[in-house]
Structure 1
Amino acid sequence: MAEADGQEKTEDPTGKKLSDARNKGQVTRSKDLGTAAILIMASFILIMLGDSLGHAFMVMMTDAFTFEREAVFDPSQMLVVFATGVAEMVLPTLAILVALFIAGVVGTIALGGMNFSTEAMMPKFSKMSPMAGLKRMFGTQGVVELLKSILKVAVIGCGVWGILHFSFADILVLSSTPFPSSAEAALDMLLWMFLILCMSLLVIVVVDVPYQIWHQKEQLKMTKQEVKDEHKDQDGKPEVKGRIRRLQMEAAQRRMMGEVPDADVIVTNPTHYSVAIKYDPSKGGAPMVVAKGVDQIALKIREIAREYEVPVMSSPQLCRAIYHTTELDREIPHELFVAVAQILAYIFQLEQFRKGRGKRPTPLPKEFDMPQGFKY
């Protein structure tokens, strides 16, 4: 869609884009790095284990071609010779194979890290399309691979020429060296030549690794519209977020209204504000605000209070001060303790009076003196 809209992919891939690409098996890889790692490791291991491998080979050949006359007529001797040869060769060969396996794994995951993707293993018929194949052959990637191949031939060719040029005199000396010293020298020379040629592949690696990193980043670049769409998908559509917020507010209001019947007193504005206060002496501390609201919510609080016979007190300044300074399920500020304590004491004395256990309490003033910073 982005290409159809004519937008250029100018934005770096986001974290989600990189994660999705990795899940699909699209990670940065360098075939030349893996090839160079295997070949260099092979040359090193052959130089290190060349003597052991050569000795094992000589022992195997000696055992294979040195035998008594009676062994010719004994068919079981063939198995004995074969087992002896395998026993001599197995350890050096196993060491070489393990070293090459480690080099191959390390060389492969060195760029891009370890990644296992089942999606990448699934067959894709689009890869079987002749047109797609031609596009890959004659596209930018095909041109780059061609240039890399030419560079490989040039580098290796220069390496071969340089080795032969500087080793020509040593090669001529081999013709006058007696056997088996000449064979040992020739093998040693070949191994070091092989190592130098393999090391020359690092020139290709130095070029290929930065290119593969750049190419992977270019492939995953996004248009500005794709970035916006992704942020929208992650954050959620505005209408969905609005509905979620409404549902959360409704749930919070229902919970809050459920606390009103247990409140000790409702302090009102008396029309626009309502605050429900509860005090539990067993828990200590200060009185808490269990419900509050303005306009319709304030009216609903007063309705529930009347239904459950919760006392309602009109004190506009105190009500506004509590509403603006105290969150739900929080203790009221200590600056308002005296005014709230007077209201709670009045409510308690009024209940005792109605039960015939005391005299009628003195009516409270309509307003209380509010401290500085609590006048709303």
Structure 2
Amino acid sequence: MAESESGQDKTEDPTEKKKTDAREKGEIVRSKELNTLAIMLAGSSALLIFGGALAQDLMELMRQNFSLSREVILDQRSMSTYLMSSGLSALLAIQPIMITLVLAAFLGPISLGGWLFAASSLAPKFSRMNPLAGLKRMFSVKALVELLKAFAKFLIVLIVALTVLSSDIDDLMRIGHEPMEMAIIHCLQVVGWSTLWMSCGLLAIAAVDVPVQLWEGHKKLLMTKQEVRDEHKDQEGRPEVKQRIRQLQREMSQRRMMAAIPEADVVITNPTHYAVALKYDPDKGSAPVLLAKGSDFLALKIREIAVANEVLLLESPALARSIYYSTELEQEIPGGLYLAVAQVLAYVYQIRQYKAGKGKRPDPLKDDLPIPPDLRRDS
């Protein structure tokens, strides 16, 4: 069980933030044995697939370079031209194998831990230049494990190589009696298969190393209970900071709410304890929207702003309480209040017509508006 500097046991699984921070620092799980296995398997497979074409190209290159005329040999400019041409031909011949090896060297590491480029990993670490720290790493348990892995890898590859070579002894003897071209192709096949079988021998090492690396990576990220609590506190924020943020958010919300009151069609009051401001836009065809609401002192401010901006005040205690408790700011009123609010808006329209001299004064709106029982709030 891992232990922290404070003496507490690291028993808690790493949090997502811990994993993210470690990844940003370049601390991810890697397996050198898996990378070696990928490169060896890719190289031997490419040699078996492209070995025949490679042998033909190299033999053709040798024929051209060993059949030069005397004039070409004595001409320095011609020799440089032949040298450049031969080098280009050799590069083109080994290109498929080289591309395969490059892809394996790229895909092998990212198969465990994924792709990552961390600039912090490139920064020099002067602590690694400390001779005492270097000696400590050399004689650590991890160094001993790496030594044992290297020795086990050597034994496995040696056993597989001896087994493969002993089984191919007849092919090796026949190569000496074959024509040159056939012997070269045969040699490449033997080398390819031998390398492939020796690469497969590394599967056992990689199969052990990958779980060990995953376990060590997880163990390194383990946290104490105090570290988890501290991280949670940092993420959530201090209580006084959160309280201040909520206070500022409420103040900003109230300022936006007060600024929207002049656009309201009507302010429905309790008459003193509650006040709600509604607006209906017939062009949008949606339900009326709650622009502002408040109780007690805030309700008084809403009424004052409404009077100052000539917004109609309407007393309907039951409807004011229902809207206050059932609707959030800038949201449409619930469907159960459509009929009651429609009667209010119709009354507001009649009042406007009357003030414009286009109709008679409407009768006062009754307080027995149709409010469903589930939306009704008693005083």
Matched with 1:6 is 7
Residues 310, 102 of structure 1: alpha-carbon distance in 2 compared, 3 angstrom cutoff: closer
For residues 238 and 304 of structure 1, do their structure 2 counterparts lie closer, same or farther at Cα, with a shift above 3 Å needed? same
**Partners of 1:69 and 1:233 in 2: how far apart?**
82
User: Per the alignment, do residues 145 and 340 of structure 1 end up closer, same or farther by CA in structure 2, a change over 3 Å counting?
Assistant: same
Distance in 2 separating the partners of 1:334 and 1:303: 27
Q: Does 1:16 align with 2:17?
A: yes
Q: 1:274, 1:324 → 2: CA distance?
A: 11
**1:336 paired residue among 340, 346, 349:** 340
Question: CA deviation digits over 1:59-117, x for unaligned, max 9?
Answer: 45455555556666555564465356435533223333222222222222222222222
Residue 37 of structure 1 aligns with which residue? 38
Once residues 76 and 371 of structure 2 are traced to their aligned partners in structure 1, the CA distance between those partners, rounded to angstroms, is: 114
Task: Please show how residues 108-147 of structure 1 align to structure 2 within 5 Å.
Answer: 108-147=109-148
For 2:271, what is the secondary structure of its paired residue?
A: coil
How far 1:265 moved relative to its partner?
4.5
User: What is the SS of the residue equivalent to 2:268?
Assistant: strand
Query: After alignment, is 308-317 or 248-257 more displaced?
Result: 308-317
**Which TM-score applies when normalising by structure 1?**
0.80
Q: Structure 2: how far apart are the matches of 1:49 and 1:282?
A: 73
Contact 1:59–1:88 (8 Å) recurs in 2: no
Mapped to 2, the partners of 1:78 and 1:17 lie a distance apart of 62
Tell me by how many angstroms 1:311 deviates.
Answer: 4.8
Q: CA deviation at 1:325?
A: 3.3
Q: What is the identity, as a one-letter code, of the residue corresponding to 1:213?
A: L
* Equivalent position SS for 1:276: strand
Tell me how far apart the structure 1 counterparts of residues 26 and 300 of structure 2 sit (CA, whole Å).
Answer: 60
What is the aligned residue count? 370
| Contact residue 63 and residue 81 of structure 1 kept, 8 A | no
Q: Is the 8 A contact 1:267 1:313 kept in 2?
A: yes
Say which SS state the counterpart of residue 277 (structure 2) adopts.
strand
Q: How far is 1:155 from its partner?
A: 0.7
Greater shift in the superposed pair: 143-152 or 72-81: 72-81
What's 1:192 paired with? 193
Residue 109 of structure 1 aligns with an amino acid whose one-letter code is I
Q: Secondary structure at the match of 2:158?
A: helix
Deviation per residue, 1:172-206 (Å, 9 max, x gap): 6667x477599555664344323322221122111
Q: CA deviation at 1:228?
A: 3.2
Contact kept? 1:24, 1:119, Cα under 8 Å: yes
* CA deviation after TM superposition for structure 1 residue 125, in Å: 1.0
Structure 2 counterpart SS, 1:158: helix
TM-score for both structures, normalised by structure 2: 0.79
Counterpart residue number, 1:208: 209
Match of 1:322 in 2: 323
Relative to 1, partners in 2 of residues 1:150 and 1:267: Cα closer, same or farther, differing over 3 Å?
same
Distance 2:361 2:211 in 1: 90
Give me the identity figure in percent. Answer: 43
1:135–1:314 CA distance, 2 compared to 1 (3 A): same
1:236 corresponds to:
237
**5+ residue gaps, structure 2:** none
Instruction: Identify if the C-alpha distance between structure 1 residues 107 and 326 changes in structure 2 by more than 3 Å, giving closer, same or farther.
Output: closer
Return 5+ residue gaps in structure 1 as ranges.
Answer: none
Distance 1:280 1:54 in 2: 83
Alignment of 1:46-65 (within 5 A): 46-65=47-66
Q: CA deviation at 1:170?
A: 5.4
Render the CA deviation track for 1:197-247: whole Å, top value 9, x for unaligned. 222112211112222222222222233333333333334333323222222
Contact 1:41 1:100 in 2 (8 A): yes
How far did 1:30 drift?
A: 1.6
Shift of 1:363: 5.3
Instruction: Return closer, same or farther for 1:303/1:32 CA change in 2, 3 Å cut-off.
Output: same
Q: Is the 8 A contact 1:346 1:364 kept in 2?
A: no
* Residue of structure 2 equivalent to 1:89: 90
Q: Relative to structure 1, is the Cα distance of residues 182 and 249 closer, same or farther in structure 2, using a 3 angstrom cutoff?
A: closer
Which moves more between the two structures, 340-349 or 244-253?
Answer: 340-349
Q: Could you tell me whether the CA contact under 8 Å between 1:276 and 1:290 is conserved in 2?
A: yes
- The amino acid across from 1:35 in the alignment is T
SS at match of 1:111: coil
* In 1: Cα distance, 2:76 partner to 2:163 partner: 53
Distance (Å, rounded) in 1 between the aligned partners of 2:203 and 2:183: 30
Range 325-334 or range 241-250, more displaced: 325-334
Pick closer, same or farther for the CA change 1:246–1:39 going to 2, 3 Å: same
1:303/1:158 CA distance change after superposition, 3 Å: same
Change over 3 Å in CA distance of 1:48–1:324 after alignment to 2: closer
